[in-house]
Amino acid sequence: MEVLSVSVDSVFSHKIWNETELSKMVDGGIPYPMLSDQNGEIGRLYGVYDEDSGTNIRGRFLIDPDGIIQAAEVLSPPVGRNPEELLRQIKAFQHNRNTGEVLPSGWVEGGQTLKPRTALAGKVWEVWQPPKK
């Protein structure tokens, strides 16, 4: 797995942000590369570049080893992202890729999975129920 962060900020801005902010929140600073997309080329490719403000809207994309986007999330700046949900999704996509099993809503590592088959159509409710809170 490879993690990259991309923004329209300069490499210098990333360095300062990491040294003055991130290193105080994450021991040793950000543990993955921060890429500078000052012209918004990458942001345009992923549909997150805002031409009016010249910034990338917050988004995250899970891209599988074949280069296919498996999940995407785009949020406006007032709402933060959930790292636990991101990690859960990564584990779920990896499990599916390794086993072919599908993962129902709310799946967590070690939780019940489903083996896709024709006989299951219309009968998922017989073998799986959403977790109760």
Instruction: Dig out the tokens for 51 from the structure.
Output: 């031409």
pLDDT tens-digit map of 88-133: 999 999 999 999 999 988 888 998 898 888 888 888 888 888 777 7
pLDDT attached to residue 22? 87
The answer on pLDDT for 58 being more than 80 is yes
Domains and CATH numbers, the chain: 1-79 (3.40.30.10), 82-133 (no CATH)
Kindly give the pairing relationship between strand 34-36 and strand 58-63.
Answer: unpaired
The pLDDT assigned to 69 comes to 95
In the chain, DSSP finds a helix count (H) and a strand count (E) of 5, 6
State percent of the chain over pLDDT 70: 100
Give the strand pairing for 34-36 and 5-7: parallel
